[in-house]
Amino acid sequence: NQTMMFGFCEALLKEDTSNYGYNSDDETQRVGGSADSDTEQELSDDDGHTHVQDSDKDDIIYTGKDGTSLWYSNPKQAKIEPLAIEPTIPGVNPFARNAKTEIECWNLFFNDEVLGDILYHTNEEINSKTYSEHHNTRVHIIKETSMDEIMALLGLMYITGLNNSTGYNLTDLWRFRWYRMTMSLQRFNFLQGCLRFDDAATRAQRSAVDNIALVRDIFDKFVANCQKVYNPNHFLTLDVKYIPFRGECPFRQFMPKTSAAYGIKMYSLVDAKDSYTINMEINADCVKCTTRGITVKAGRS
């Protein structure tokens, strides 16, 4: 009886298992089928990516009106690399912080190189004049100048502009003792007439393409010194400035809305926070001026 009972239970278990469809081989097949399905999906993805690549080759290409520019219906996405800009701290550069007095600050912009060029070219002009032109003039008036005298000459010009005495007669100005103590009126007139800022040998060649060739070298060095001394802030402003001027100048412009009828037009790039001038360019209506532009190296990270 026990043998019959065990046989009946075994048969019953086999029947229940077959009804539920349980089979270890089937389970293994289902697991393997799932893996195969995933593999097929990956292949499908790979095939789709390949198909996209193939579709790129079938892009519609349009030709621009100039006949050379090409436009693609599905342009490729290019990755833009960030610019490697060295961060700087806004403000006065460390080497310029050592200037404590007014003359030391002034020398940051008009350094020995700038003053040396003015001295050299001015003495060239003095030596180019023949003695016969000044045979009735005393020697101490027509002699060569020095660095101290050049700075004294510029100082008198500063005082004249500071006191708004530009339109005054020089004879009236020399009634003030600080003018007479600096130099005589005859010496001032002579130096002012011989003051030069460029090489006379190449002046004609440079003037053919640059209307401000007579001061271009000194002007560029002054602007470069302005940029060396100070690092600007993040925000800059570009504006036009009109400097009143009534002298003979080929690029002098009419200024109807100002008190001065004529002046020189200048573009200035200025720090919007500290009002410091970073770059300048004179509008001289020449080939070199139109291609120069106003640029500034003010990299920020």
In a domain, 257, yes or no: yes
> What is the per-residue pLDDT for 279?
92
> What is the per-residue pLDDT for 301?
33
Instruction: Judge if 136 and 210 occupy the same domain.
Output: no
> What is the per-residue pLDDT for 118?
95
Last residue of some domain: 196, 220, 247? 196
The overall average pLDDT reported for the chain is 76
Assess whether pLDDT exceeds 80 at residue 134. Answer: no
pLDDT digits (tens, 9 = 90+) for 13-46: 455 444 444 454 444 444 444 444 444 444 344 4
Nearest by Cα to 188 from 150, 161, 215: 150
Instruction: Judge if 209 and 161 occupy the same domain.
Output: no
Give the position of tokens 């070199």. 288
Average pLDDT for 45-60: 48
Phi and psi for 70 in degrees, rounded to 5? -115, 135
**Packing angle between helix 216-229 and helix 112-128, nearest 10 degrees?**
170
Nearest by Cα to 274 from 224, 238, 233, 239: 233
> What is the per-residue pLDDT for 294?
52
pLDDT digits (tens, 9 = 90+) for 135-162: 555 777 888 999 999 999 999 999 988 8
Instruction: Judge if 174 and 106 occupy the same domain.
Output: yes
Domain hosting 155: range is: 94-196
Instruction: Judge if 186 and 99 occupy the same domain.
Output: yes
Average pLDDT for 204-229: 91
Instruction: Judge if 180 and 268 occupy the same domain.
Output: no
Instruction: Judge if 163 and 232 occupy the same domain.
Output: no
Average pLDDT for 111-120: 94
Average pLDDT for 244-259: 79
> What is the per-residue pLDDT for 223?
94
Instruction: Judge if 184 and 217 occupy the same domain.
Output: no
In a domain, 78, yes or no: no
In a domain, 106, yes or no: yes
Assess whether pLDDT exceeds 90 at residue 226. Answer: yes
User: How many other C-beta atoms lie within 10 A of the C-beta of residue 145?
Assistant: 19
**Residue 173 near residue 160, CB atoms below 8 Å:** yes
In a domain, 141, yes or no: yes
Question: 3-state DSSP helix/strand/coil percent for the chain, to nearest 5?
Answer: 50, 10, 35
Predicted confidence band of residue 259 (pLDDT cuts 50, 70, 90): confident
Cα(227)–Cα(224) distance, integer angstroms:
5
Cα(298)–Cα(278) distance, integer angstroms:
10
Last residue of some domain: 158, 181, 196? 196
Instruction: Judge if 140 and 162 occupy the same domain.
Output: yes
Instruction: Judge if 263 and 219 occupy the same domain.
Output: yes
Last residue of some domain: 157, 181, 196? 196
pLDDT digits (tens, 9 = 90+) for 281-294: 988 875 445 444 55
**Residue 236 near residue 192, CB atoms below 8 Å:** no
Number of H helices, E strands in the chain: 12, 8
**Packing angle between helix 147-162 and helix 112-128, nearest 10 degrees?**
100
Structure tokens at 39: 């593999």
Q: 37-51, 109-123, 195-209 — which is least confidently predicted?
A: 37-51
Q: What percent of the chain has pLDDT over 90?
A: 30
| Number of compact structural domains in the chain | 2
